[in-house]
Chains A and B, each alone.
Chain A
Amino acid sequence: MFRVSLSFLAVSLLCLGLADIEITTLDPWQEMRRIAVGFLTPDVTVLYSIREAMLNTVTFAFCGIAVGVGVGSVLALFFHLTAVRLLCAFVRAIHEIFWAFLFLPVVGLNPMCGILAIGIPYAGVFAKVYAEILQEADQKPLKGLPAHTGRLSRFFYGVLPVIYGDVKHYTSYRLECALRSSAILGFIGLPTLGFHLETAFREDLYSQAPAMLYAFYLLIASLRLWVKPKLVLVYVAASFTLVSTEINLRWDNITRFLGHDILPWPMRRAGFLDGSGEISFPAGQVWQWAVDIVHTEALPGMWNTVVLTQVVLAGSGLFALIFFGTISRHFVRRRRFRGLSHYVLIVLRTTPEYILAYAFLHLWGPSMLPAIVAILLHNGAILSYLTGQNANLVRLRMDSARGKANRYFYEVLPRVYGQFLAFLFYRWEVMMRESAILGILGIYTIGFFIDSAIADDRVDKAVFLIGATALLNMGIDSISQIIRRRLRVSAGTVFTCQE
């Protein structure tokens, strides 16, 4: 365990040396002061003008979750099939923003795009986690059922009650994630909160962005007050009704996209030049097209993505090892202080890393630095929170080590380290997805090249690059699995941490 940790740390330091880190803005301190003042003087009048965006953020999230839960539950039942597992891993490996890129040309900038962008990857996630919950569910109750009980009755009496708590817990956690996803989809033009945040940042409206962020925190914090199991169906139905007026799905768009736009350019060139739109198959040229993209965009983009990922993997791990103590009763006696750091961690966790990165980019100018700090803070906060909670479960005896350092290294850290590593490796793949999309903000991870391809209306290239990213991600996911198995660490409460 120790050796693995050290080697990851070494790799990460190496990557840090390779990463391009600099501050290019003329006066970051001045900028920072303005932002701080903005956070202290939020302009609440802006809230009135973003009410529709807030509503959209919520409705897209509910519809997306509904699609994800519906499709995911069915897939979970067939998760033992390798094909289903691979399909789920594949759709999970692509970030919501990339999915939105893919749907933009098909359905346009409308709710459908947002709903599918959330629903599809979430279906993959739900399938996996629900299948895990099913698999780990207590089997004893089933044994007590009469031998010839029908399948449905078996499910509703012997399975559903047993897994219900876990399923509810995980699904409500994902609702929070869906709201984050929904919000940041605004950054690429959908009518959610991110759209207005982007405008506020871009136009230096320092008091507006914080007001919107505060509203978002309130929304997340209030979830447990108004999202009750009995009302969820009502919300979902209402959300679908609200968005249904704006959805227009045109069949010819879909067929054009699938049958034409995503095909490699060399296949379409001849038809394009003579105006017939016909498809040819010049194998040599297609190969050359693929080799060119791999050489000039996919490989450099993936390389930078991996470099960034490794830096933030170790970074957020270190962050968590330093800060988990601040919410643990073994290190901070005063409840009030623990509460305070708890809130700080929650705010960091709730702020989507994309928004953090956008703010830091504004502060420091383009380099890997904003992305590193953003992903590190977001994930570090999650890991600190989970590890801190575990640390609080540790019961120290009356004769345990005195002194905080002794207690940390001898009593607490050894007991929580295994699970901490499991959490960290679970998040590895998440961090890689985040590293990939932050390219959209101008650092040369794969997202940069995908964003440029979309901007140039080269859907074929974007699809190719997104596919490559997905494969990279699936690779990381399986390496993480192998390492976790080797180290025999497991997160236990897996679903509070996954994805």
Chain B
Amino acid sequence: MYDLENVSVAYDGAPVLKGISLRIRAGEKVVIIGPSGAGKSTLLKKLYDLRQAQSAFIHQDYALVPQLSAFHNVYIGRLDQHSVTHNLLNLVKPQKAELLHITPIFRAIGMEEKMLDRVSTLSGGQQQRVAVGRAIYRNSSIILGDEPVSAIDPHQAGGLLGVIKNSADTVVLAMHDVQLALAAFPRVIGLREGLVFLDLPSEEVGEETLADLYRRD
């Protein structure tokens, strides 16, 4: 699916990724961890650019349209797959077919009763669920997510992660919560200062390795 060979990315001359090589096969569920500024978001964007058409992306800041309903925000996930007329009709009045399709997604993300509420009236956690719902609705083979459960309370985050993992063949997420990440994903990539610091099965990641990954110097 992805075969990166010595990939470097720089913003305004400052290197963010410094020659990364890694391979992710179709069907893998991978989590990226590492200290702030290590290049996690940049790597995710790189992966998105490589397979735009097959990917859904969950943004760190949700990228929702606050003035539209939660339903419409989820519908946006497939804007490119419907005709303009259909998009406009659905904007004016949610179409039956779309409601049938999207309601189960809202059930899965635990937001059924908020489906027709304006996004601006939702809490941060609820907005993040809508952003997840959008990625699910896109029904793509890959889901990429930048901190997709950061605003969800801890004992519900695991469940939502499960929903994301089951919604696409290949899933790559960046996460801050290391314990949650290790528990939910079989493979962990640790980034540090723009380099791959570790790339291991979760059960092989020990306390010491983590301390090294996050150490300050």
A interface residues, Cβ below 8 angstroms from B: 138, 140-150, 152-154, 156-158, 161-162, 164-165
Chain A residues within an 8 Å CB radius of B91: 156-157
* Across-interface contacts of B88 in A (CB, < 8 A): 152-153, 156
The answer, yes or no, to whether B197 is at the interface (CB within 8 Å) is: no
Inter-chain contacts of A164 with B (CB < 8 A): 67
Q: Does B72 contact A (CB under 8 A)?
A: yes
Say which residue of B63, B68, B82, B138 sits within 8 Å of A140 (CB atoms): B63
B87 within 8 A of A: yes
Partner of A148, one of B62, B65, B80, B84: B80
Contact B64 A148 (CB under 8 A): no
Closest Cβ of chain A to B183, distance in Å, is 28
B80 touches A144 (CB 8 A): no
Contact B72–A157 (Cβ < 8 Å) = yes
Are B79 and A149 in touch, CB under 8 angstroms?
A: yes
Indicate the member of A140, A142, A165 with the most B CB atoms within 10 Å: A140
What's the minimum C-beta distance from A128 to chain B, rounded to whole angstroms? 23
Give Cα distance in the complex from A158 to B87, angstroms: 12
Q: Min CB distance, A151 to chain B, in Å? A: 9
23 A-B residue contacts at CB 8 Å? A138-B66, A140-B61, A140-B62, A140-B63, A141-B63, A141-B64, A144-B65, A145-B80, A146-B76, A146-B78, A146-B80, A146-B138, A148-B80, A149-B79, A152-B88, A154-B79, A157-B68, A157-B72, A157-B76, A157-B79, A157-B91, A161-B65, A161-B68
- Interface residues of chain B, those whose CB is within 8 Å of chain A, are 52-53, 57, 59, 61-68, 72, 76-82, 84, 87-88, 91, 131, 134, 138
Name B's interface SS. Answer: helix
B60 CB to closest chain A CB (Å) equals: 10
Partner of B64, one of A144, A146, A150: A144
* Contact B53 A148, beta carbon cutoff 8 Å: yes
Q: How far is the CA of A144 from the CA of B56 in the complex (A)?
A: 9
* Closest residue on chain A to residue B86 by CB atoms: A153
**Does A144 contact B53, Cβ atoms closer than 8 Å?**
no
Q: For A140, give the chain B residue with the smallest CB separation.
A: B63
Shortest distance from the beta carbon of A297 to any chain B beta carbon, whole Å: 52
* Chain A residues touching B, majority SS: helix
How many Å from the CB of A154 to the closest CB on chain B? 8
Given A150-B84, A156-B88, A157-B72, check contact A145 B79 (CB 8 Å). Answer: yes
Which residues of B lie under 8 Å from residue A142 when comparing CB positions? Answer: 63
* A162 pairs with B78, CB closer than 8 A: no
Please give, as numbers and ranges, the residues of chain A lying within 8 Å of B68 by CB-CB distance.
Answer: 157, 161
- Judge whether B80 and A165 touch: CB under 8 Å: no
- Chain B's closest residue to A164 (CB) is B67
Q: How far is B79's CA from A66's CA once the two chains are assembled, in angstroms?
A: 31
In the complex, what distance in Å separates the CA atom of A149 from the CA atom of B59? 17
Question: Quick one: given A144-B59, A147-B53, are A157 and B65 in contact (CB under 8 Å)?
Answer: yes
For the A-B complex with A153-B87, A157-B68 known, give 9 more contacts whose Cβ atoms are closer than 8 Å.
A140-B63, A146-B80, A146-B81, A148-B53, A152-B84, A152-B87, A153-B82, A157-B91, A158-B76
Given A143-B59, A156-B88, A157-B91, A162 and B65 contact (CB-CB distance below 8 Å): yes
Residues B76 and A145 in contact, CB atoms below 8 Å apart: yes
Complex Cα distance, B134 from A146, in Å, reads 10
CA–CA, A364 and B169, complex, Å: 84
With A157-B76, A157-B87 in contact, is A144–B67 under 8 Å at CB? no
Please measure, in the bound complex, the distance between the C-alpha atom of A140 and the C-alpha atom of B76, giving whole angstroms. 13
Residue among A144, A152, A157, A158 with most chain B CB within 10 A: A144
Question: Given A144-B59, A150-B84, A152-B84, are A165 and B67 neighbors across the interface (CB < 8 Å)?
Answer: yes
Q: Within the assembled complex, what's the spacing in Å between the Cα atoms of A143 and B76?
A: 11
Verify B67–A162 contact, CB threshold 8 A. Answer: yes
Residue of A143, A149, A164 most packed against chain B (CB within 10 A): A149
**Lowest 9 CB-CB distances: which A-B pairs, in order?**
A144-B63, A141-B65, A161-B67, A146-B80, A149-B79, A153-B87, A148-B80, A149-B80, A147-B52
Query: B57 to chain A: which residues have CB within 8 Å?
Result: 144
Bound: A140/B64 CA distance, A: 7
Given contacts A153-B84, A157-B72, A161-B68, contact A146 B63 (CB under 8 A): no
